[in-house]
Structure 1
Amino acid sequence: MNTEIHNCLETLKRGGLILYPTDTVWGIGCDVTHPEAIERIYKLKQRVDSKALICLVSDFKMLNQFVEEIPEVAYDILKYAVQPTTIIYDDPIRVAENLIANDNTLAFRVTQDEFCKKLLRKFRRPIVSTSANISGQKTPGSFKEIPKEILEGVDYVVNLHRDKRSEKPSAIIKLGKDGGVKIIRK
């Protein structure tokens, strides 16, 4: 695992894209502060840049460094969540502008995956995590279902958990400044 983390860190630091297993599905990732890398992900996925991406963080401490204010209800939602849950927060900070949605929001998930946690702690900032598919196509449930153009479009492919199967992306909840909670994806 240490070799994989080292290779990912080297790739991320130079603005590259990684393909990696997460606590949900295989993801395409990059440094959240690197606008060119984020642009490459949009192009690779053939996705309009108005459709926001998800970012992974290792813990609440890291999340606090990239969101202006975390609503109290977020802690409760994540404490009682029975599946990986992504929350869309208002007013992200210290990330590339092209990562932020038109309504000044950004989605973050506190990962529970051991590899992701270690990688994030060593990288010391969030990593983009978007499903390894072309926009509009089915999310791959396993490594072998990832399209060839995605495999060839990234700079490093993690050699772990390639036999892992996951059909389900995370739940997504949007939290508003007004205290409103909206379920986007169950």
Structure 2
Amino acid sequence: MNQEINKALEVLKNGGIILYPTDTVWGIGCDASNEEAVKKIYQLKKRVDSKALICLVADDRMLKKFVKTVPQVALEIIEITDTPTTIIYDDAQNLASNLIGEDGTIAIRIPDDEFCYQLSRRLNGAIVSTSANVSGLPTPNSFKEIQEEVLKGVDYVVNLHHEKICTKQSSIIKLSNNGVVKIIR
């Protein structure tokens, strides 16, 4: 796994995009602070950049680097949930501007996955994580279902867990600083 982390890290640091296994589905990712890399993902997915993307961070300490105020309830949700849960936060910071929603929000998940944890920790930053498909087409449940266009459109394909089958995306909850909680997915 270390070799794959090193290869993926090199691509991320050089502004490239990767195809990698996450705690949910196969994802397309890049350094979440690199606007040009984020733009490449939107182009590959044929997705308008007003549709937000999810980011992964290593832990709650790193989360605080990208969100001005992390509501206490978010930390409690992260602690008690046993399924992948993405939280949309107000007041995103230190991220590519084309990644942050028009309303200043950002969707972030702390994955329960060793590869994702180590990659984010060693990058010392957030990693974009969007499903490995062209917008409008079904999310692939396994590596073998990923479209050729996506495979050829990334700079590096992580060589781990190609046999993994994923049938569920993360839950998404929006936590506003004013205390409003909304279930998105």
**CA distance in 2: counterparts of 1:137 and 1:78, whole angstroms:** 30
Give the counterpart letter for 1:94 in structure 2. N
Gaps of 5+ in 2: none
**CA distance in 1: counterparts of 2:122 and 2:50, whole angstroms:** 30
Q: SS state of the match for residue 98, structure 1?
A: coil
**CA distance in 1: counterparts of 2:10 and 2:78, whole angstroms:** 31
Superposition map of 1:23-172 within 5 A: 23-172=23-172
**CA distance in 2: counterparts of 1:178 and 1:91, whole angstroms:** 12
**CA distance in 2: counterparts of 1:82 and 1:64, whole angstroms:** 21
Q: SS state of the match for residue 121, structure 2?
A: helix
Shift of 1:62: 0.4
Give the counterpart letter for 1:21 in structure 2. P
Deviations 1:16-46 (A, max 9, x none): 0000000000000000111011001001001
Shift of 1:77: 1.3
| Equivalent pairs, count | 185
**CA distance in 2: counterparts of 1:41 and 1:104, whole angstroms:** 20
Give the counterpart letter for 1:119 in structure 2. L
Give the counterpart letter for 1:26 in structure 2. W
TM-score w.r.t. length of structure 2:
0.99
**CA distance in 1: counterparts of 2:151 and 2:14, whole angstroms:** 19
Residue identity (%): 61
Q: Which runs of 4+ in 1 moved over 4 A?
A: none
Give the counterpart letter for 1:127 in structure 2. I
The reply on whether 1:16 has 2:16 as its aligned counterpart is yes
Q: SS state of the match for residue 97, structure 1?
A: coil
Gaps of 5+ in 1: none
Q: SS state of the match for residue 5, structure 2?
A: helix
The reply on whether 1:176 has 2:176 as its aligned counterpart is yes
Shift of 1:80: 1.9
Shift of 1:82: 2.6
Q: SS state of the match for residue 99, structure 1?
A: coil
**CA distance in 2: counterparts of 1:97 and 1:120, whole angstroms:** 19
